[in-house]
Amino acid sequence: MQDNLTWWRGGVIYQIYPRSFLDSRGDGIGDLRGITEKLDYVASLNVDGVWLSPFFTSPMLDFGYDVSDYRDVDPMFGTLEDFKVLLAKAHSLGLKVMIDQVISHTSEQHPWFKESRQDRTNAKADWFVWADPKPDGTPPNNWLSIFGGPAWTFDSRRQQYYLHNFLTSQPDVNFHNPDARQAQLDNMRFWLDLGVDGFRLDTVNFYFHDAELRDNPPVPKGESKTLGAPETNPYTWQRHVYDISRPENVAFLKDLRALMDEYPGTTTVGEIGDDNPLERMAEYTAGGDKLHMAYTFDLLNKPRSASYIRQVIERFQRLAGDAWPCWATSNHDVERSASRWGAEEDPIAYPKVMLAMLFSLRGSVCLYQGEELGLPEADVPFERIQDPYGKVLWPEFKGRDGCRTPMPWTDGTQAGFSSIEPWLPVETRHLDVAVSRQQENPDSTLNSVRRMLAFRYAHPALFDGELNVVDVGEELLGFIREKGDEKVLCVFNLTGNEQQTALPANVTSDLEGHGFNAARKDNVLTLPAYQAAFMHIG
């Protein structure tokens, strides 16, 4: 592992969705005490830290991503004292704690917005993005909300529209206003002073908008749509040139990094949804003076072949320079990888090799709760849908609830998550792969993850070494990780068929301890279905 100041560089961060991790109070909703109760389990995975999705005071119209008080815990999740206990327990186990920061927008219930919308002359009149209607009363431009419809809502008090990239109840903060920018940095300092180890930055490329409010151009016919949104959403029909990813954002990220540098050992990971995501990741993490790391939706999309993953890696390698990625194949916003990528594959074997591939990439990793169990996407009936995104775009897009259902700790009542019916239904298929079922089985996905992460940390080249893609045929993915005197050839068979390839380098020994099976004879490697090979090369 790395030293305490650069723990994040190559580290694995376990994402916890608090509402669905463990209910300690019997109200059907997960909470901070529940997380604290299960931190020993998290530590047993051999991860470096946790990322907690929002637990701040909120009306919960977007489940905490609409913050009304950045410096307190919503009573639904507990108290600030509960968080301090969680933080202390995590640190005692050697786990770092990162928390979400949703600073591009607030809840409409936030005191800043309540004041701002009163009139055009109050002290916070310019803290949000306000604009006059066109002469015919329509919105100022063609910008769209990710959650459907125009990104503008008219307010009768100011006789103006306000911008919201998401729900109408999530007004965008005006980052062109220096006081608003500083206020958000001060909110982050509050948590740093409490001892958090870093931040996951929600929609980190959404902070600034075009001050001239120019229209976005359409996506030319036949060109790909790369943003992390379903193609049935009209949001993907525009090139997002003016509403997000503005050049002014870079200077703010430098201010943010200066704040983080006051707290040695802390880190940031930014979420990037962009028309050119890998380019944006490189821009935002290069140079050591902006974000520490970032992730995109390139491995959170539907494409999953070895060829596609190879193209993503090679494209990032061309762009990266000294930029540092954080890779993820699942999170709280997308269909679980076991279903999104593995729906037609072996439900036990496929998640193991897919995660082994993820853990072997150059970069840091975010591992979403339940991914270590190989959980498939839950099927949530329409009458139980909670996600506003799903309600708007149903049935072509069913929202994000399917990846947010309760963590299955046991195969008993309510999966050991709660003593009552939880906020989202327990997926019955999850009971067969619950933690209690997998815990004592050495060949389970859970124990495969533990074994693979221990193996990763035993080989510095896999932790933060260089990476070079090698040719092992169209159906296999292969690359060499190198650090110091250690060179490790990694080859992955993500298919259900046996594959063979001529080895692209001179193998000196086969590595053990990773739990996968392969056969090597002379210069030929044979990989059974859903297997991987790790070899030292000279």
- As annotated, the active-site residues are 202, 262
Q: Please give the angle made by the CA atoms of 8, 354 and 406, to the nearest 5 degrees.
A: 75
Q: Residue 501's Cα: distance from chain center in Å?
A: 34
CB 77 within 8 A of CB 17: no
Residue with tokens 């000196």: 508
All residues at 6 or more sequence positions from 194 whose CB lies less than 8 Å from its CB, including other chains: 83, 84, 87
DSSP-H helix ranges across 459-530: 460-464
State residue 155 phi and psi, 5-degree precision.
-115, 125
3-state secondary structure of 52: strand
Among 207, 488, 233, 493, smallest CA distance to 361 is for: 488
Among 152, 246, 167, 253, smallest CA distance to 208 is for: 246
Query: In the sheet where 160-163 sits, what is the strand order?
Result: 130-131, 160-163, 152-155
Among 307, 312, 349, smallest CA distance to 329 is for: 312
Give the alpha-carbon dihedral of 12, 13, 16, 22, to 10 degrees.
60
> Which amino acid belongs to residue 136?
D
Q: Using CA atoms, how far apart are residues 194 and 61, in angstroms rounded to an integer? A: 27
3-state SS record for 362-428: CCEEEEECCHHHCCCCCCCCHHHCCCHHHHHHCCCCCCCHHHCCCCCCCCCHHHHCCCCCCCCCCCH
Q: How far is CA 363 from CA 118, 184, 227, 359, 481, in A?
A: 46, 28, 21, 9, 11
Give the alpha-carbon dihedral of 32, 37, 40, 43, to 10 degrees.
-10
3-state SS record for 331-350: CCCCCCHHHHCCCCCCCCHH
Q: How far is CA 179 from CA 123, 142, 182, 186, 433, in A?
A: 10, 28, 5, 10, 50
Q: Using CA atoms, how far apart are residues 317 and 310, in angstroms rounded to an integer? A: 10
Q: Using CA atoms, how far apart are residues 327 and 98, in angstroms rounded to an integer? A: 16
Kindly calculate the radius of gyration of the chain based on its CA atoms and give it in whole angstroms: 23
DSSP state of 144: B
Show the tokens assigned to 354. Answer: 């897919």
CB 499 within 8 A of CB 493: yes
